[in-house]
Amino acid sequence: MYDMHVRDMTNNIAKALKLTKNQTLKVQKTIEDYWADRMALTWTSADVIETAKTMDIKLTNDQAREILADTLHGHDADLGVNWEVLRTRIDLYVSNLK
């Protein structure tokens, strides 16, 4: 997990639970420890929205989240997810709206 994602997760948890600085540091350490022997590549709704813009397609954040969920559950694990897969999933989503 990228450091920026650990920080984002930590900050969101700390804000939601109104944690003290010490509690926040414990949360961050726990998340870092969890991800120490794991790897995850992440895609965001912003990635989907920006990719759609390059295709002259305008998406809402909710639509981008739906595309992310569809991609997660419908991608070929042997190929993984890449920009081309994302463009294909956007095309599929838009074609299903028609």
Distance CA 81, CA 98 (A): 25
Q: Do 12 and 30 have their domain in common? A: yes
What is the mean pLDDT of each successive set of 10 residues along the chain, which is 98 residues long?
Answer: 93 98 98 95 96 97 97 92 96 92
Q: Do 28 and 69 have their domain in common? A: no
- Domain encompassing residue 72: 45-97
Position 98 scores a pLDDT of 78
Contacts of 27 (CB under 8 A, 6+ apart): 10, 13, 14, 19
- Tally of domains in the chain: 2
Q: Do 26 and 65 have their domain in common? A: no
| Structure confidence by residue, pLDDT tens digits, 45-56 | 999 999 999 999
40 in a structural domain = no
Q: Do 21 and 59 have their domain in common? A: no
Q: What is the pTM of this model?
A: 0.83
Q: Do 16 and 57 have their domain in common? A: no
29 in a structural domain = yes
Position 1 scores a pLDDT of 81
What average pLDDT does the structure give for the chain?
95
